[in-house]
Amino acid sequence: MQIIDAHVHPFEVVSQRSGRYSEGVTDMEVFKEDLERAGITHCCGSVISRVDGSSWEAIHALNEAALRLRKAYEGFYTPGIHVHPAFPRESCEEIEKMAAQGVTLIGELVPYMMGWSSYASPEAAEIFTLAQEKEMTVNVHPSTDEDLEKFASLYPHLSIIVAHPRDGADYQENLARMRRHENVCLDLSGTGLFRYGMLRHGLDQVGKDRILFGTDYPICNPGMYVEAVLFENLTDEELEAVMEKNARRLIFKEE
């Protein structure tokens, strides 16, 4: 079994390096070494940086960095790209161009860092309609429950991965949304698995094909997430689905 991290944020320059205590992650060599030391064999995700949302060029630059990192770490990193509802034409052109280059993942999208808020807004409709047509997968940082519910309803054939399980009632709402919408999945990054039994409970609620392994590295400790999943009471089939097969189906588009 391989371990595919469906949610990381690689970087080229310091302004793209995420994490409150990221001094130890000095460059992408350390990034790769850390993930491999945790047992992770492949990673996926977007290059992020705070931009004010008024410049498509700044957003496009993050996507170009992701493509360069894919080439530099060929076989180890799958890029996710950014789109922006303030730039529907440019975003659609980016989707077309990136799809032609084999990119299948949009996100993680982090609207609060990029000057927007709603996935279900009219301004975003053209973008996500095209993403749905292109059979791309979109990984989204949570907005409001109302917005995510509407988003899932508007694009029923779009594969949506919601990042971060959260906890308590918020986690239960995530699982309830997944039961209502077959196109919605969840990655384990960020708020992760600090409550023992969370993953076992989630799998019992929504099945083994709807939850993906993810860490949010370098924001979070990747080794902690690997061990948390391994320590839960999962069958071999469930473990393989979470750690590898769900990402292969949703992001790599393998049957």
Ordered by start, the domain boundaries in the chain are 4-250
d(CA 202, CA 187): 11
Mean pLDDT of the chain: 96
Question: Worst-scoring range by mean pLDDT, 26-30, 135-139, 186-190?
Answer: 26-30
Average pLDDT over residues 131-146: 98
Nearest to 5 by CA among 220, 165, 205: 220
d(CA 226, CA 241): 14
Confidence of residue 15 (pLDDT cuts 50, 70, 90): confident
The DSSP output letter for 122 is G
Average pLDDT over residues 209-228: 97
pLDDT score for 14: 84
Average pLDDT over residues 169-197: 96
Rounded to 10 degrees, the C-alpha dihedral 218/220/221/227 comes to: -130
Tell me if 121 sits within 8 A of 142, measured CB to CB: no
pLDDT tens for each residue of 62-106: 999 999 999 999 999 999 999 999 999 999 999 999 999 999 999
pLDDT score for 21: 80
Average pLDDT over residues 127-136: 98
Phi, psi of 102 (to 5 degrees): 85, 10
Confidence of residue 43 (pLDDT cuts 50, 70, 90): very high
pLDDT score for 96: 98
pLDDT score for 165: 96
The fold for domain 4-250 equals TIM Barrel (3.20.20)
Percent of the chain with pLDDT strictly greater than 70: 100
The DSSP output letter for 54 is S
Determine how β-strand 137-140 pairs with β-strand 4-5: unpaired
Tell me if 187 sits within 8 A of 213, measured CB to CB: yes
Nearest to 31 by CA among 164, 215, 245, 243: 215
What is the SS3 assignment for 106? strand
Average pLDDT over residues 176-192: 96
First to last CA, the chain: 17
The letter for the amino acid at 216 is D
d(CA 56, CA 209): 35
Residues 6+ apart with CB under 8 A from 223: 37, 38, 39
